[in-house]
Chains A and B, each alone.
Chain A
Amino acid sequence: MTHSLFQNIGTMAYRNLLKTLHNPDQFMDVLIQPILFMILFGYLFGGAIAGGVHAYLPTIVPGILAQTVLSAASGSGAQIREDVDAGVFDRFKSLPIARIAPLAGQLLADSLRLLVATVASLLTGYCMGWRPNVAFGWVVVILLLAVFIGWAISWIYALVGLLSSSAAMVQSFSLMTMLLLAFLSNAFVPIKTLPKLLQIIATLNPVTYVITAIRQILARGTLTPTAGWVFLMGWGIVLVFAPLTIWAYDRRN
């Protein structure tokens, strides 16, 4: 058609960011939570787990980073649900634009929010004395990896948002899965300290792989096989969930 798909997606993303600017409550949660957790957990558990805050930082910074992208991604489900309930999506559907534009725009805006939240987490770590021993470029790499994984996961939550019956349900589902995935992993504690059953769960938890990949990159200053797998896993999620989400979006016909 006369105007491009990318321009439509850009407009949708702009709309979404404007909403965040006018009504920043939800985003403040995403932004403040990692800062708070980083400070709280760092000083609370640092001594017990690693013998000091400074020694704990290489463990907790990637952990908080993963938790941040998870909680930011889980927020997109609730926002999509709100749009559907308000009837705004119906209006989008009656516009002469590609049907994927509203969803893609939302998820593009989510990536920008993810970027801000991850930068905030890393800066907090920096203020607490975290100094990665690798070139700055690798810090950018793990940042982008985290944002990419968050973006991939937000397709899953977008699907949940479209399929569930109410915004409240999406919110409680998001919170529950986010807490389980973040805490039943190697984000804050070494897995070998867990009971047997939880060890199995934590080892299988995909979040564990994301965190391991980030720690490896930050420790060695090189891409590791785990990082490669995590990257592939992200694309796997998108390839499976993007079509499902678009199907769910059109399904209301």
Chain B
Amino acid sequence: MSAQTAIRVTHLSKTFNQHRVVDDVSFTVPAGEVFGLLGPNGAGKTTILRMLTTLLTPSAGHIAIFGHDLQTAGRAARACFGVTGQNAALDEDLSARENLLIFSRLNGLTRAQARQRTQELLNEFSLTHSADKPIATFSGGMRRRVDLAISLITRPALIFLDEPTTGLDPRTRTQMWTTIRHLVAQGSTVFLTTQYLEEADTLADRIAVIDHGKLIRTGTPAALKEATGASKLVLTIADLDQVTPAAQVLATALEAHPQVSGHTLTTPFHTTDQVAIGLSALKRAAIPVAHLAVQAPTLDDVFMALTVGQN
């Protein structure tokens, strides 16, 4: 049983100066799963992650990593996982190769093994060209790659990623996602925190939503989206007189309640077919559409929907 459970968290709390940052959080991550912890800034994501990685001691509750209780077997637990933090924790003065070599040695590899593993990781993360330049000269994306490479030295069964793509440009973000998917394909369990719903959606099997230190809901991305309502179709109608008739047309065609604001109509929808239905209904009614946009549910929507649902 415990062998199949990567992370078991029971009634975890953390209090800083009488301020409850994490409040009675419990969840279980089975081995092989990608588990996303989703929440806005200051929700307690990083605090939970720091407790999971033994950097903070919980005020109450228990954490077990692959069956090792962190309070009694912290060192055995630390041998099971790798961490990639929010700020790449690297030696700025040292090169990528030196950083990898030193951390390989600290992870118990022999000199020869360390050299070999370093070369493997440099290849895998396309860092061979800059391997011997100091980290201080690296871009944000390259730093993250070195950082991730370091946490993969021991091929850990469990990898913690703290906001792995925050502050990265879209291209680097996509590269990072590919790397993470590759890890998952190799059978690693991944625990990631993020503030992007899209990221949790593309990567995670299951998502826990957290706000003000409390676990609001745990579920698959699909279940979560169900709770958020839907995507929104945003239409701009050129002629102000036609906005009200357009709203009526959409309301009938989509069985929804469009929100009107100036020239803009915002209508929730569930399937892409509905977009086509709505647009052709407008065309039949001879109402020209000046601009069209589709809004995916944002983290705001998730919180609105979930917290409203709770109250």
Contacts and interface: CB of A to CB of B under 8 A. Distances in A.
A196 interface: no
Given A19-B93, A22-B93, A253-B56, A92 B106 contact: yes
Contacts, number: 70
Contact of B108 (A3, A12, A87): A3
Given A1-B75, A86-B89, A90-B55, 12 more contacts: A15-B98, A19-B91, A22-B93, A23-B93, A86-B91, A87-B87, A87-B89, A91-B83, A93-B54, A95-B78, A96-B78, A253-B57
Interface string B66-107: 000000000110110101010111111110001000110111
B92 A93 contact: no
A193 interface: no
Contacts of B56: 253
Contacts of B53: 94
A88 B94 contact: no
Contacts of B106: 8, 11-12, 92, 95, 97, 101
Contacts of A15: 91, 94, 98, 102
A93 B108 contact: no
Most buried by A among B75, B87, B106, B150: B106
14 contacts: A7-B105, A8-B106, A15-B91, A15-B94, A18-B94, A22-B94, A23-B93, A86-B90, A88-B91, A94-B54, A95-B106, A96-B79, A96-B107, A101-B106
Most buried by B among A2, A3, A92: A3
Interface string A157-179: 00000000000000000000000
A88 B102 CA distance: 12
B83 to A, nearest CB: 5
Interface of B: 53-57, 75-76, 78-79, 81, 83, 85, 87-94, 98, 102-103, 105-108, 134, 150
A14 interface: yes
Contact of A94 (B83, B98, B105): B83
B131 to A, nearest CB: 15
Interface of A: 1-3, 7-8, 11-12, 14-15, 18-19, 22-23, 86-88, 90-97, 101, 252-253
A2 B113 CA distance: 15
Contacts of A18: 93-94, 98, 102
A205 to B, nearest CB: 35
B146 to A, nearest CB: 12
A11 B93 contact: no
Given A1-B75, A11-B102, A96-B78, A19 B94 contact: yes
Contacts of B83: 91, 94
Contact of A93 (B55, B91, B134): B55
A3 B106 CA distance: 9
A100 to B, nearest CB: 13
Nearest to B110: A3
Most buried by B among A12, A90, A252: A90
Given A11-B105, A96-B79, A253-B55, A90 B89 contact: yes
A252 B55 CA distance: 8
